[in-house]
A and B are shown apart, each in its own frame.
Chain A
Amino acid sequence: MKTIKLVIIVILCLGVGFPASAQDASKSTKKKKTEEVIFKVGMHCRNCQAKIEKNIPWEKGVKDLRVDLENQKVTVSYDPKKTTEAQLQKAIEKLDFSCEKSEDKK
């Protein structure tokens, strides 16, 4: 009985992830609330890419991140109520990369 209870608890705990998934999906429908900015970043190697990927996601308001090493572009989706392009640019520069807003489309 104890075992069955434990199995149920674990399944329920794992189930928490799926609502989270659903939340992600619902977020995508609310994309109007997020904005996207593309930066031209002076990345040269995979370590540079990794550094961006390990740091920028944790900046306040960041909702999504894509790093294109080949074209030296970093695309950030963010919540404009929580952060700004300038703050994100500053966060990338703080990692010792040159960074400027790119006018390129997606």
Chain B
Amino acid sequence: MWNVMTTGSVRRVLRKCLAVFYLTTASFLSVQAQTGDTASVAGVGVELEEVTVSARRQGTILSSLTQLKTETITSSGLMKMACCSLSESFENSATVSAGYSDAISGARTIRLLGLSGMYSSMLDENIPTMRGLSATYGWSYIPAAWLESIQISKGAASVVNGYESVTGQMNLEFRKPHNSEPLFVNLYADDARHWEGNAAVALPAGRNLWAGLLLHGVSAAYVHDKNGDTFMDMPKYSTVHLYNRWFYLNEEKGIQSRTGVRYLHDRRKAGQDSACHANDGLPLFETFITNRNITVYNKTGIAVGNKEGQSVGIIGNFTRHEQASDFGKKAFDGVQTSLYLNLLFTSFVRSAAHRYTAGASLAYDRYDTEYLDSLAYNATPPTRFRCTEAVPGVFVEYTRANPAGWTLTLGLRADRNSLFGWMVTPRAHFKYDVGNYVIVRASAGRGFRSPNAIADNNRLMASSRRFETDEIPYLEMESAWNTGGSVTVYLPLQEDRRAALSIDYFHTEFQRQTVADTERDRHAVYFYNLAGRSYADAWQADLSLPLLEGFDLFAAFRYNRNKITYTGEDGARYLVDKPLVSACRGLLNLSYATRFKRWVFDATAQINGPSRMPGMNGYHSQKIYSPAFPVLFAQISKNSKRFDMYAGVENLLNKTQDNPVRGWSAPFHLDFDASLVWGPLLGRKIYCGVRIRIGEIK
């Protein structure tokens, strides 16, 4: 179609497309700037001047365009490893660390700036996702094969997306129906007889309409107990995840709309199984977990007026999540119903150098959860929590782009939470391009979050600990300030290659926080409001170095210092290192690809530093640290136009945490605890897979 357009009509369309582009991607890009490092810009045929594309993209890119320091894990990066799920996609990133939350459920969790993933904002193409109950197991449910790229930005995010982001933001870009091949299939298997299949269908459904269907199915039906503790190393599970997408684009009228329906059903059985445990008449510690989720959304942008880039957008999202989980004699069931609406208007004052976005939003969440603990010695009554939270808010964000090379964004939003009252969220971002080779960034901002004490600490279900729930109804809204900055230096090398060296530091200081105190009493967990300091410092250095044509090196080192204040029964305060947080992480990735990536070889080495183990004898317990441990990954891929094959190994050195299920021989005893996870639970994994593309390659 573009081939037959005249220059004039191209310009007209371009203006409208730009307007729609600004609007539909505004939430992430308003602060991120036009993230041209990703594969496509809304796929609308818009050519942005800054954009460059390379046929041989690196797996991880440090963008020079975005206003916040943004690490993009590209499609190449997502194919460097098995990357079955989103949580496994971060193994090549020092920014995000991922691990198992406990030794039973198989739930994965991530950390950004050393803090739990619940303090970062998760976006599905700029729509908030994985909030509340769905976050507990959600990191395992999104297959990497569905993704085009992941953008990870550290520091306070745009106010346009809401008040929740404290440590940063992660945006997922999925395969688009309008620029993907008609059929993509990914099949995967490993030596643990874990089978996985993903498919993506993309078809035109009209002149301006495209439809897409993403399918994901997993079967892990075999019991493995390599360490002989009678507990399965990983749960048996089956997952079905479907995602139907519709994309409408009318370039002449300047309308772009995306609609999606997503359905997830996951069942898992974990803990002890008669296949690996002769129960001798004793009850088994069995775990059954079921999650069901349905999500429906629409995101529409319409170019309005005559100003270039002026547009109106509306985002609507409905989610219902049901969770049922039994851990031995404990159970936690819950239903979350959420509605999110965001209306935004983007325009300029005088010129594009003075851009602003203003709007209003409504977030509605209803939780109905129940916690049961039938362990006689805990004597915990059934506890039901029901709450409804409605949060209307307004926001404005102004961006000043100065030709001298600096860009300043100031954002402010005010929200009224029906449970917690008013919240005022100011945020600021500054970027300065010092010549062509140095970029300085700084950001500061505040974030809030509603606590879900039990769902947020679901890992503790895998223990005999008594949940002291009395304080839960009195927990306050969590709030924190995040400040930080980075310096990135780009060093030109031969031809068009360049190395990137970046150093950043971020500090998160909590004003209010829900403390889950597991150290006052080894047999209990106490939930209460923070009294005293809680903070996290994160330093990181990254080096991206294309050594030779096709041969890339990525190295990173991160250091964290996390402190939290516990309050004893007598009111005394104890400022301690946050338990189970690794103090440092080093990463080295070497990647070599022959011309056109016909062969790709990847090797990654991680070294994970020690973590402080929770004190088992009160706040004055002797400090015990987990050992540092390395993890090695390697993969070989043979690619062609329509068919790729890959094979690899994870955790090559077969390092695993010793005794992850404490007290496994008496799982209903007081001392049973499978929540103290600091390292890998699975040993070496050998895997292989294929990717097949059918139809026109776009």
Q: Are A10 and B649 in contact (CB under 8 A)?
A: yes
Which of B304-312, B395-403, B431-439, B634-642 lies at the interface with chain A?
B634-642
The dominant DSSP class at the B interface is loop
Taking a contact as CB atoms under 8 Å apart, the answer to whether A97 and B550 are in contact is no
Q: Are A21 and B548 CB-contacts (below 8 A) given A10-B603, A98-B3?
A: yes
The digit string for A54-67, where 1 denotes a CB below 8 A from any CB of B, is 11011000011101
Tell whether B220 is near chain A: CB-to-CB under 8 Å: no
Tell me if A6 is interfacial: C-beta within 8 Å of chain B.
yes
Q: Of A14, A44, A49, A64, which contacts B3 at CB under 8 A? A: A44
Name the B residues within 8 Å of A97 (CB-CB).
3
B2 CB–A CB distance under 8 Å:
yes
Whether B43 is near chain A, meaning CB under 8 Å from some CB there, is yes
What is the chain B residue whose CB lies nearest that of A63? B595
In the assembly, what is the distance between CA of A16 and CA of B636, in Å?
A: 10
Taken residue by residue from 7 to 44, chain A's Cβ proximity to chain B (1 for < 8 Å, 0 otherwise) reads as: 10010011011101100100000000000000000101
| A46 contacts chain B at the CB level, 8 A cutoff | yes
Q: How far is the CA of A24 from the CA of B636 in the complex (A)?
A: 18
Q: Is the CB of B179 within 8 A of A96?
A: no
- A48 to B, closest residue via Cβ: B2
B53's partner among A18, A46, A57 (CB-CB below 8 A) is: A46
Residues 1-30 of chain B, each 1 if its beta carbon lies under 8 Å from chain A, else 0? 011000000100000000000000000000
Instruction: List residues 592-645 of chain B with CB under 8 A from any CB of chain A.
Output: 592, 594-596, 599, 601, 603, 632, 634, 636, 640-641
Q: Do A18 and B634 touch (CB < 8 A)?
A: no
State whether B595 touches A64 (Cβ < 8 A): yes
**Which residues from chain A contact B599 at a C-beta distance below 8 Å?**
16-17, 20
Contact of A13 among B45, B601, B640 (CB under 8 A): B601
Once bound together, how far apart are the Cα atoms of A16 and B599, in whole Å? 10
Beta-carbon contacts of B562-595 to A below 8 Å, as 1s and 0s? 0000000000000000000000000000101011
A24 to B550: give the CA distance in the assembly, Å: 11
Check if A65 sits within 8 Å of B55, measured CB to CB: yes
Shortest distance from the beta carbon of A5 to any chain B beta carbon, whole Å: 11
- Assuming A3-B653, A48-B2, A53-B55, is B641 touching A24 (CB within 8 A)? no
Q: Which residues of A contact B47 (CB under 8 A)?
A: 44-46
Q: Which of B10, B39, B634, B652 is within 8 Å of A50, CB to CB?
A: B39
- Check: B697 CB closer than 8 A to any chain A CB: yes
Residue pair A51, B697 in contact (C-beta under 8 Å): yes
Given contacts A17-B594, A20-B599, A97-B3, contact A47 B652 (CB under 8 A): no
Shortest distance between the CB of B210 and any CB in chain A (Å): 13
**A17→B654 CA distance, assembly (Å):** 25
Which residues of the partner chain A approach B698 to less than 8 Å between Cβ atoms? Answer: 47, 50-51, 54
Does B387 have its Cβ within 8 Å of any Cβ on chain A?
A: no
In Å, the complex CA distance between A63 and B196 comes to: 35
Chain A: minimal CB distance from B160 (Å):
25
Residue of A nearest to B590 (CB): A14
Is the CB of B51 closer than 8 A to any CB of chain A?
A: yes
Number of interface residues of A (CB under 8 A): 33
Q: Are B46 and A6 in contact (CB under 8 A)?
A: no
What residues on A are CB-neighbors of B640 within 8 Å? 58
Bound-state CA distance A54–B55 (Å) is 8
Known: A14-B634, A16-B601, A21-B548. Contact between A46 and B592, CB under 8 A? no
Q: State the CA gap A52–B656 with chains docked (Å).
A: 46
Q: How far is the CB of B686 from chain A (nearest CB, A)?
A: 9
Q: Mark B634-676, 1 if CB is under 8 A from A, else 0.
A: 1010001100000001001110000000000000000000000
Q: Does B40 contact A (CB under 8 A)?
A: yes
* CB neighbours of A6 from chain B (8 A): 649, 652, 684
The answer to the question of B195 belonging to the interface, with a C-beta cut-off of 8 Å to chain A, is no
Give Cα distance in the complex from A95 to B615, angstroms: 65
Shortest A8–chain B CB gap in Å is 11
B41 close to A (CB within 8 Å): yes
A54 touching B697, Cβ below 8 Å: yes
Q: How far is the CA of A55 from the CA of B641 in the complex (A)?
A: 7
Give the one of B53, B594, B595, B697 with max A CB within 10 A: B595
Q: Which residues of B contact A67 (CB under 8 A)?
A: 55
- A65 surroundings in chain B (CB, below 8 A): 55, 596
The reply to whether B55 and A47 contact each other, CB–CB distance below 8 Å, is no
Indicate if B263 sits at the interface (CB-CB under 8 A): no
Q: Are B43 and A57 in contact (CB-based, < 8 A)?
A: no
Which A residue sits closest to B181, measured CB to CB?
A: A54
| Alpha-carbon distance between A46 and B632 when the two chains are bound, in angstroms | 36
User: Once the chains bind, are A42 and B3 in contact (CB under 8 Å)?
Assistant: yes
Cβ-defined contact, B53 with A49, below 8 A: yes
Which residue in chain A gives the minimum CB-CB distance to B47? A45
In Å, the complex CA distance between A16 and B10 comes to 48
B367 neighbours in A (Cβ, 8 Å): none
Residue with the greatest number of chain B CB neighbours at <10 A, chosen from A21, A63, A65: A21
Q: Report A-chain residues with C-beta under 8 Å of the C-beta of B632.
A: 7
CA distance in complex: A29, B179 (Å): 38
In the bound assembly, the distance between CA atoms of A49 and B52 in angstroms comes to: 11
CA distance A98 to B636 in the complex (A): 37
Q: What 0/1 pattern do residues 62 to 102 of A give for CB contact below 8 A with B?
A: 01110100000000000000000000000000001110000
For B2, list chain A residues within 8 Å (CB).
44-45, 48
Q: How far is the CA of A63 from the CA of B595 in the complex (A)?
A: 8
Q: Point out the residues of chain B lying under 8 angstroms from A45, CB to CB.
A: 2, 45-47
What is the bound-complex CA distance between A7 and B10, given in angstroms? 56
Closest 6 CB pairs of A and B: A58-B641, A57-B596, A17-B601, A44-B2, A17-B592, A53-B55
Question: 8 additional contacts, CB 8 Å, given A17-B601, A47-B698?
Answer: A13-B601, A16-B601, A16-B636, A21-B550, A24-B594, A47-B40, A58-B596, A63-B595
Q: 30 A-B Cβ contacts within 8 A?
A: A3-B653, A3-B654, A10-B603, A10-B634, A10-B649, A13-B636, A14-B590, A14-B603, A16-B599, A17-B601, A18-B592, A21-B548, A24-B549, A24-B595, A44-B2, A45-B45, A45-B46, A45-B47, A46-B47, A46-B53, A50-B39, A50-B40, A51-B697, A51-B698, A57-B55, A57-B595, A63-B595, A64-B595, A65-B55, A67-B55
B residues touching A (Cβ–Cβ < 8 Å)? 2-3, 10, 39-41, 43, 45-47, 51, 53, 55, 179, 548-551, 590, 592, 594-596, 599, 601, 603, 632, 634, 636, 640-641, 649, 652-654, 684, 697-698
